[in-house]
Amino acid sequence: MPSYQPKPEHKFTFGLWTVGNIGRDPFGEPVRHKLSPVEIVHLLAEVGAYGVNLHDNDLVPIDATVAERDRIVAEFKEALAATGLVVPMATTNLFSDPAFKDGAFSANDPRVRAYALQKTMHAIDLGAELGARVYVFWGGREGVETDAAKDPIAAIKRTREAMNFLCEYAIDQGYDLKFALEAKPNEPRGDMYNSTTGHILAFIESLDHPEMVGVNPEVAHEHMAGLNFLHGVAQAWETGKLFHIDLNDQAFGRYDQDFRFGAVNLKSAFFLVKFLEDVGYGGSRHFDAHAYRTEDYEGVRDFARGCMRTYLILKEKAAAWNQDAEIAALVKEINADDGAMAPYTGAYSRDKARALKAAAFDRVALGARGLAYERLDQLTIEVLLGVR
Ligand code: GCO
Ligand code: MN
Ligand code: MN
């Protein structure tokens, strides 16, 4: 039996806020005591994670003095050195403090926008100091409850101005840092701007430094919007923009659930893992999820181990799918190309267009052909159910 043991090369990471989640929700108080960042690093090392990600304030309280900050960061670095954990990604908390109740970069108040920039520059410095190479932007409060409150075009322009400012800042400091923007359709705001990965991919192209900005898609966020997560990830990958990924799970149509990876939609998790492994995605596999509120810290360990174990099992299933002779034959048949259409298709030419307009097609035969997708999908299910 394979051990499904996580290894550094799998690049499994967790945020301080994920395993450190104390189980507060809108209806109930915390169910777990708060662990210190150092304790979280040790917990993650124990379960076999490769790295730990953080918001500035997961580590350094928002009102810490410079001396307190330096002491906290030094202790954290000691824990990293003792465990071998790395910090591949850092981000800014621009949503918890009441100052950000109307957003950060898109807020109507110019002082809030400027404070958000200041806070992010300090947080970028912290991330760079800890060795992060990816800096995530999740616009937690960038949105509205009513469109009377904000001009959506102003929101886009303000966000662009902020991203351009911060790209220049990172370049000016000589940081080796890429930015990854994370979409979410709603929660905590009624509606959030840049609501899907697709919106963000289009937005990035309007920035001054599109080459240093990519995306951090999250399973739950696209599922909340009823979308096919894999398709968004594929679009990001195909344009060279998949800089980071947030793995978790979520039932469609529900509030933000942040379940253990693979806990709800095993089949979509399978196709996602298969995609990441087939294309050779080399970034972090970041589990942005948390344990059920019913759990104590033993349950939190079960949760974290479960995320990684399910990923590794699905990776093995993906290899089995790729190696299955019957599946391979069907895939070959589905994609068969006898070359007969080559003279008409591909790059445009006037001659090709003329020839194609005159070509004869047996439309009825095209429509009559069965495609065997039922068989292929059932074979996939049987791989997943462990009977192949
Ligand atoms: C959420 C988001 C966050 C972000 C995090 C990093 O739904 O709360 O997914 O967990 O990923 O703030 O930017
Ligand atoms: Mn989320
Ligand atoms: Mn996330």
**pLDDT of res. 113:** 98
Encode 265-291: b = buried (16+ Cβ within 10 Å), e = exposed: bbebbbbbbbbbbeeebebbbbbbbbb
Ligand 2 centre from 120 Cα, in Å?
Answer: 20
Strands (E) across 16-155 are located at 51-55, 89-91, 134-138, 143-144
**pLDDT of res. 2:** 75
Ligand 2 centre from 189 Cα, in Å?
Answer: 13
Atom of ligand 1 nearest to the CA of 187: 7
pTM as predicted: 0.97
DSSP states of 316-383 as a string?
Answer: HHHHHHHH-HHHHHHHHHHT---STTTTTSSS--HHHHHHHHH----HHHHHH----HHHHHHHHHHH
**pLDDT of res. 1:** 64
Over range 319-334, report the average pLDDT: 98
Closest C-alpha among 108, 137, 133, 268 to residue 200 = 137
Give the residue, by CA position, lying nearest to ligand 1 atom 10. Answer: 288
Ligand 3 centre from 6 Cα, in Å?
Answer: 21
Q: What is the pLDDT of residues 56-113, one digit of tens each?
A: 999 999 999 999 999 999 999 999 999 999 999 999 999 999 999 999 999 999 999 9
- The CATH number assigned to the domain with range 8-322 reads 3.20.20.150
- Residue 58 is among the residues annotated as catalytic for this protein: yes
Encode 228-246: b = buried (16+ Cβ within 10 Å), e = exposed: ebbebbebbbeeebbbbbb
Question: Residue 247: enclosing H or E segment and its boundaries?
Answer: strand 246-247
Running DSSP on this structure, what letter comes out for residue 249? Answer: B
Give the pair of three-digit tokens for residue 280.
């050779």
Q: What is the pLDDT of residues 7-22, one digit of tens each?
A: 999 999 999 999 999 9
Atom of ligand 1 nearest to the CA of 93: 12
Give the residue, by CA position, lying nearest to ligand 1 atom 13. Answer: 138
The full set of domain ranges for the chain reads 8-322, 325-385
Over range 290-308, report the average pLDDT: 98
Percent of the chain with pLDDT strictly greater than 70: 100
**Residues within 5 A (CB) of ion ligand 2:** 218
Q: Which of 58, 215, 218, 222 gets mutated to test ligand 1 (max ligand atoms within 8 A of its CB)?
A: 218
Strand pairing report for 89-91 and 51-55:
parallel
Residues β-bridged to residue 247: 287
